[in-house]
Amino acid sequence: MSSKIGTDIHQAAAFLKAGKLVAIPTETVYGLAANAFDTEGVAKIYEAKNRPQFNPLIIHTDSIEKLTSWGLTLPPKAQLLARSFSPGPITFLIPKSAQIPDIITAGTDAVAVRIPDHPLTLKLLAMLDFPLAAPSANPSGFVSPTTAQHVEKQLDKKVAYIVDGGNCKVGLESTIVSFLDDNKPKLLRYGGLALEDIERIIGKVELPKQGFSDNPVAPGMLARHYATRHPIILGNPETSFMDYNLDKVAIISFYKKYAQVPEKQQFILSENRSLTEAATQLFAAMRQANDLDVAVILAEIFPDEGLGKAINDRLRRAATL
Ligand code: TXA
Ligand code: MG
């Protein structure tokens, strides 16, 4: 194992203060972090990820008070949600303040903020008097990392340090809600906090148009994302069985086993039929399926409720058909 991986948050803080990149664990996925106020540090994020400059970044901190000190205010409905779910897998899109550099927001007037729920990262953030800009710690267009090893495999040479916080307990990126018009909160990305939980607190939220387009609301939400080496076909796997040699098929399923396909090529995300558990397994399964010598990945469509909506969203972005 590389000496770059560990739990030394003092070391991590020192690197961040010096303008270097550090990978950090969160409850959703690992982030590739830099001091959000250090525009050169932030530029390194774009370079390391090969990320288009028009795709803005979420800033992370450990308290609402710090947001206030940087001139950022959560509108009333966002505050209500923060009270219930922050720290947690929700990101608030709110009006930007002058202190937030344009490189963070891709020149727009809105900034995305979140308080991640991971003990090591919360401790690290508490040591810093600046927010951390952090996209998911994967090369642009790939599946997000849910372990320190995933980060090491793809970005080792590009980071000064990887804080190892174990497996991400949610496993899907945060849910993003826009409060630019607080009377009309808008869902920008399905994610680790279920829509039902959000609507229970603030009422109806405007949903993205059915199906994602290549002309997205959140600039990074391109329809084709999470590229896998093998094509992913979404739907009832059995309907594709006649089209493939079943020894060369991988399956991602909720709880069902398919007797016709070799067991080691099947990724059952939750034998207990828990969508929350399935969410924690999805990205690792996509990576492992990708590493197999198969021709295709057949993925079930998950129930359209709770985290199933976010799971289906990620699979749809990865799917070819
Ligand atoms: O769970 C998460 O949100 C993870 C962890 C590391 O916090 N982060 C994450 O970041 O998923 P990223 O960059 O991979 O995805 C953030 C999404 C992008 O689609 C981006 O376009 C959108 O948020 N976004 C960020 N700032 C925005 C802004 N100012 N306006 C509109 N969309 C924004
Ligand atoms: Mg990402």
- At residue 223, the pLDDT reads 44
How far apart CA 39 and CA 45 sit, in angstroms, is 10
Give the pLDDT score at 213: 44
Residues in the chain with pLDDT < 50?
A: 212-223, 321
Asked whether the beta carbons of 234 and 278 are under 8 A apart, the reply is no
Cα(100)–Cα(58) distance, integer angstroms: 11
Give the model confidence (pLDDT) of 219-256 as tens digits: 334 445 566 678 899 999 999 999 999 999 999 999 99
pLDDT value at position 63? 97
What was the pLDDT predicted at 226? 64
pLDDT given for residue 208 in this prediction? 87
d(CA 133, CA 33): 5
* Predicted local confidence at residue 212, as pLDDT: 45
pLDDT at site 141: 86
163, 23 Cβ separation under 8 angstroms: yes
Question: From atom 19 of ligand 1, which residue's Cα is the shortest distance away?
Answer: 220
How far is ligand 2, taken at its centre, from the CA of residue 144, in Å? 6
Residue 284 CB: number of other CB atoms within 10 A?
Answer: 19
- Output the ligand 1 site: residues, CB below 6 A: 26, 28-29, 31, 55-58, 91, 93, 105, 108, 110-112, 114, 116, 134-136, 173-174, 176, 218-221
- The angle formed by the CA atoms of residues 19, 24 and 29, to the nearest 5 degrees, is 135
For 159-174, letters b (16+ CB in 10 Å) and e give bbbbbbbeebbbbbbb
* pLDDT the model gives residue 210: 62
| Minimal-distance CA residue to ligand 1 atom 20 | 220
The Cα diameter of the chain in Å comes to 61
